[in-house]
Amino acid sequence: MSSAVDYFVQEKIWFDKPRYDDAERHFYERINSSSHPAQELGANTILQDIARARENIQKSLAGSAANGAGDQGELITRIKSLELENHSLNQVVEDLRLALSKLECRVAVLEKSPSPAAAPVSAAPCTNGTSVQQQKTSPPVEDEDDDDDDDMDLFGSDEEEDAEAERIKEQRLKEYAEKKAKKPTLIAKSSILLDVKPWDDETDMAKLEECVRSVVADGLLWGQSKLVPVGYGIRKLQIQCVVEDDKVGTDLLEEEITKFEDFVQSVDVAAFNKI
């Protein structure tokens, strides 16, 4: 009996296994029951995202349709404006075409009209490019017995017309020459700025300017002047004059001014401008 008890004591037997099985089963059931709400929550989130995406797609489609309608209206407006512009341009082209045809007709009439040399003296001259219609005069009726006299008169009238045309031509040439002679001729002038340098700082600059202005010539007019410092107490005279190009030149001015050798060392042209 004692040996059997010892055997069962040493034998390892799991008497509480049903309890552990129940505990394991309850544990897994609790885990599975808690995972269902999470899955449902994830499914609801996905459905909300899908609905939001559908709503955004519908809004974008509606906006694109509105933009398309606006673009179509603007396109129609531009087409109408282009049609109006095209119509106005066509009208302008038609007006130009009519004006050109009128001008061609006038040129043709002028080309067909007789030259001034062949026209009679009593005919009125052309004014501003428009020809004045000449009146046809019928020759006087004479007797048949004077045929020879009529021929002589015709030749004589031609010679008189040629002489009269020549006289009118010479008179017009003379008037043109007189008119051209009375027209004032343009005188070319220049403005010259001269630098007149003295010998030293002891030179009397007032006397030097007086000597320069004493130079007189036809077509020479002296202007303003001033003293410009050069250095070491020396100042040069800067004077302006206006000359007629055909009468006075820079060489003449330099030659006349340098004659005052007691005061003037040199003369230079600082500026030369045509007027």
**Domain map of the chain by residue range?**
189-274
| Cα angle 134, 135, 139; round to 5 | 125
For residues 7-33, average pLDDT: 73
Residue 275's pLDDT band, with cuts at 50, 70 and 90, is confident
User: What is the per-residue pLDDT for 42?
Assistant: 62
For residue 192, give the nearest of 254, 122, 150 by alpha carbon.
254
Angle, alpha carbons 222-226-228 (nearest 5°): 135
Name the percent of the chain lying above pLDDT 70.
70
Tell me what pLDDT residue 178 has.
Answer: 81
Predicted local distance difference test score (pLDDT) of residue 15:
67
Concatenated DSSP letters for 252-270? HHHHHHTT-TTTEEEEEEE
Contact 199, 265 (CB under 8 A): yes
Query: If you search the block for the tokens 């005069």, which residue do you land on?
Result: 137
Q: State if pTM tops 0.95.
A: no
2: pLDDT strictly greater than 80:
no
- The residue among 189 and 17 whose pLDDT is bigger is 189
- How many other CB atoms are there within 10 angstroms of residue 234's CB atom? 16
List helix spans (H) across the chain. 2-10, 17-112, 147-182, 205-213, 250-257
Structure confidence at residue 157 as a pLDDT band (50, 70, 90) = low
Residues contacting 121, CB < 8 A, separation 6+: 161, 164, 165, 168
Cα–Cα–Cα angle for 103, 109, 110, rounded to 5 degrees: 90
| Rg of the chain (C-alpha set) | 60
- Residue pair 189/275 in contact (Cβ under 8 Å)? The answer is yes
* Whether 195 contacts 212, CB under 8 Å: no
Predicted confidence (pLDDT) per residue in 29-41, tens digit: 887 765 555 555 6
Amino acid identity, position 207: K
188 vs 258, more confident: 258
pLDDT for 256 equals 93
The arithmetic mean of pLDDT across residues 186-203, rounded, is 90
Q: What residues form DSSP beta bridges with 127?
A: 130
3.90.1150.10, 3.30.70.60, 3.30.70.120, 1.10.3720.10: CATH of 189-274: 3.30.70.60
With a cut of 90, say whether residue 181 has pLDDT above it.
no
Determine the pLDDT at residue 260.
93
d(CA 250, CA 193): 10
